[in-house]
Structure 1
Amino acid sequence: MKYTIHFLIYTLITGILYSLASHHPIYEPFVINELNFDQYIPMIPQSVYIYLSYFFLLPVLILVARGKPGFSSVFYSAMACGVINVLIYTLVPTRLFERISAPEYSFLAYLQAKDTILCAFPSGHVALPLSIALGAFMIAGQKRPPEVTSFWRKISVFYFVWFCLLALSTLLTKQHFVLDVVSGILLAAIVVLTAMYYLYAKKQKKLLNVRTLGALVTEISLIALAMTLIIRYWHPAIFTLGIIFIASRQHALLALYHDGVHYLISSNKRLNDFIINCFAGVPFFMPVHGYRSLHFSHHQHLGTENDPEKRYLYRHQPWNYQALSTRLLLKQILGDLLLWNSLRMLWLFIKDRTSSNNDINLPVTQYYNDLYIQFMFLFAVIGFGYHYWPTAIMHVLFLWFLPYLTVTQLLQKIRSFAEHTQRTTDTDSGSCSWAPSWLGAFFIWPYNINYHQEHHRKSNISWDELPKRFANAEQRPGKTLIQHIWSVNK
């Protein structure tokens, strides 16, 4: 009964979202064009009956497999795929370039009259059955009793055949193009592999911080939504507020990236780096292994002349671990906001790395070959998108890199100012923690990164555990940040 209720709730939610996305898109949909393959695929109206079998995918699974071990893993990963699918339809509206009309009075003609040409990419008729087939296949591959693995192997084959028929029907009814089918396959593979890896990791008692994973998805979704609204309602005020908002969420991503630097997303180091590079390292062109080298050295030499942060982040800049005069603070802020300080920092780092007199020894950190694939995938997506939607891709790149290179850098620098004071004789070398207001937590200290002094004492505690572990930590009031960095008397 539980699974039936969950299926009904899932159907209600996805049905509402699909209806809104297909009839009231939040902005002008992206157009999905035909590929050469599509021109050779005929319309067969009778295939609509196979197409409609989509609605029986989950009910049949519940009916035949609900009592079997591993059912919940297959069932919920498939539903997650369906929910993500309609969220894509909602946040990234798409439509077919054109659709061939079905013969008059055919059932396919009736379907075309009721269904719009929106919600095309990726194809849910492909993603959902394949997600079930893949989930069943992975359960069958686990160490389970022979009768269980045999059952799931049969289910996997059954749903794979169903997937092939549905994929073919989407093309033969001209409800989708080949591109939609391919994207549906990719969506199913990504969702199921992620879900099954998490379940496997949990069973083997390997840490995967699901809260961090959820936070990463949330921040990327918020950035995508902000970009959508800016592009849809282009106006100077919306653009300005949108850039500030995107920068704040990029800064939040970098706070989570910091957890990835310390292997706090997963105890499987390769998976840890893969996840954080997907969400931040690659999009920011800052692979996690490279920054890890600098950051570990920062922990080791905190506040000394061999501290990379002190050497590169503040060198030849006004900030010197104490409040600045109005003139110097403006100089510092403008230098960060206009990219000058970042370029100078990069030049100093390159100069030091190539100099034989460099006295900062950075630890060698490992990277995985997955990184090459991730960058290749990013460039392939950009290139493919630019080929079909050049204006949209240029808008997205502009709205990603403009805040990242300006406001995001400023927010990071202000947080860095807040985290460090003049070095004293204490063991924390001048690091300090803050108690921010909601506004401070949104812009300057997202995801408990305000527990800076505590982090330097114990760097193996993830962001979501810090408030519990250090409930009585001594923290400065967030409202004193201005006095910390600005001295009106100077």
Structure 2
Amino acid sequence: MTDHDAQFARMGASASYLRRETVQALSRRSDLWGLWLTLHVWGVIIAAWVMAAVWTHPLTLLLAILLVGSRQHGMAILMHDAAHGVLFKTRVLNEFVGKWLLAAPYGGDLIAYRHYHLKHHRYTQSDDDPDLPLSAKFPVTRASLRRKFIRDLTGQTFFRLRMAGLKAAPEPGMEAFQKTSPVPTLVTNAVLFAGLAATGHWWIYPVLWLLPLATWFMAVLRNRNIAEHALTTTDGNVLTQARTTKAGWLARVFLAPYWVNYHVEHHAYMYVPCWQLPHLHSAMAAQHGEMEIQPSYRQVLKLAATG
């Protein structure tokens, strides 16, 4: 067990909402699942590119932007599992895929994220939580929330975060975008551009990689941040200091892929892989009715915006 594995295990060891045997079964890691999820996230992106290249039309381009942006978010979700050491059973695969195939292409950094995310789990919804600035501001007015999403969809948030990432000391709430080195991102994006250019479709890189990353990805990420912790408790109760949001198939395609909507369950047992979270939810919901659960992302946004 690595040092970070041991830290996560100690942090989650006090959770006792389910029988130990149940948790052990749900905590099983799988190289096959890790491979499938990695292939799936890239497969959807490539399929969206092919669709737009073969049937180039404003509507197919828009759909491709939404699909690619949602899967860039999916890459961040799977990288999150890799940061917990649970995407793959084999540690070398977990570290390599998490760093090079998931984090680096969209500008993430597995090592920096792991350090920051460990603090988030240890100090959730407390003054020392690095994510607190993302949730403490809510509720806001509807006009304020609208302006935030407009900034996301017009690329303003993306460029602000990229500039903030160049600073030695991150701004509050922006530690997730810090890097130990820009090299992996530069290398993977150079490979992406070269590969697309070699097929005669260089335009896909700016239009269907950078544009989704600068727009839809940022809006989806904000939606997720609001849903996970805005207006939840600050009393240390794992069942109410995070939120699980129910997601239909459209939400799973465009907003919440790879079971990221099960956030209470993740905070209760952070070493359970994402593909096991629906089963963990069923087990916990049967015994703990006080869990913070909302019926949709629309309802969460209604709670987050007033007046």
**One fold, TM greater than 0.5?**
yes
Letter in 2 for 1:448: W
Q: Match for residue 414 of structure 1?
A: 223
**Does 2:241 match 1:241?**
no
* Normalised TM-score (structure 2): 0.74
CA distance in 2, matches of 1:437, 1:381: 32
SS in 1 for 2:234: coil
Note the alpha carbon deviations across 1:30-51, whole angstroms, 9 max, x for none: xxxxxxxxxxxxxxxxxxxxxx
Q: Match for residue 443 of structure 1?
A: 254
Offset at residue 463 of structure 1 (A): 1.0
CA spacing shift, 1:349–1:230, aligned 2, 3 Å: closer
Offset at residue 350 of structure 1 (A): 4.9
2:115 to 293, 300, 314: 293
CA distance in 2, matches of 1:335, 1:485: 17
Offset at residue 343 of structure 1 (A): 3.5
CA distance in 2, matches of 1:242, 1:328: 28
Offset at residue 430 of structure 1 (A): 2.8
Question: Which aligned pairs between 1:297-446 and structure 2 lie closer than 5 A?
Answer: 297-311=119-133, 313=134, 320-322=137-139, 324-348=140-164, 350-351=166-167, 353=169, 376=187, 379=190, 382-383=193-194, 386=197, 388=198, 392-422=201-231, 423-428=233-238, 430-446=241-257
Contact in 2 for aligned 1:209/1:264 (Cα 8 Å): no
Offset at residue 351 of structure 1 (A): 4.3
Letter in 1 for 2:209: W
CA distance in 2, matches of 1:381, 1:332: 30
Question: Which aligned pairs between 1:72-221 and structure 2 lie closer than 5 A?
Answer: 207-221=29-43
Note the alpha carbon deviations across 1:197-221, whole angstroms, 9 max, x for none: xxxxxxxxx9543123212212211
CA distance in 2, matches of 1:445, 1:354: 27
Structure 1 gap segments, 5+ residues each: 1-205
Q: Which has the higher contact order (CA 8 A, sep 6+)?
A: 2
CA distance in 1, matches of 2:43, 2:189: 17
Structure 2 gap segments, 5+ residues each: 1-27, 286-290
CA spacing shift, 1:222–1:380, aligned 2, 3 Å: closer
Q: Match for residue 135 of structure 1?
A: none
SS in 1 for 2:275: coil
1:476 to 271, 294, 299: 294
SS in 2 for 1:286: coil
Contact in 1 for aligned 2:100/2:188 (Cα 8 Å): no
Q: Match for residue 485 of structure 1?
A: 304
Letter in 1 for 2:31: N
2:264 to 439, 443, 453: 453
Contact in 2 for aligned 1:421/1:430 (Cα 8 Å): no
CA spacing shift, 1:424–1:278, aligned 2, 3 Å: closer
Structure whose alpha-carbon radius of gyration is higher: 1
Offset at residue 480 of structure 1 (A): 2.0
Contact in 2 for aligned 1:432/1:452 (Cα 8 Å): yes
CA distance in 2, matches of 1:374, 1:347: 15
TM-align CA RMSD: 3.4
CA spacing shift, 1:377–1:332, aligned 2, 3 Å: closer
Contact in 2 for aligned 1:455/1:461 (Cα 8 Å): yes
Question: Which aligned pairs between 1:15-30 and structure 2 lie closer than 5 A?
Answer: none
CA distance in 2, matches of 1:295, 1:212: 20
SS in 2 for 1:470: helix
CA spacing shift, 1:207–1:435, aligned 2, 3 Å: closer
Contact in 2 for aligned 1:321/1:420 (Cα 8 Å): no
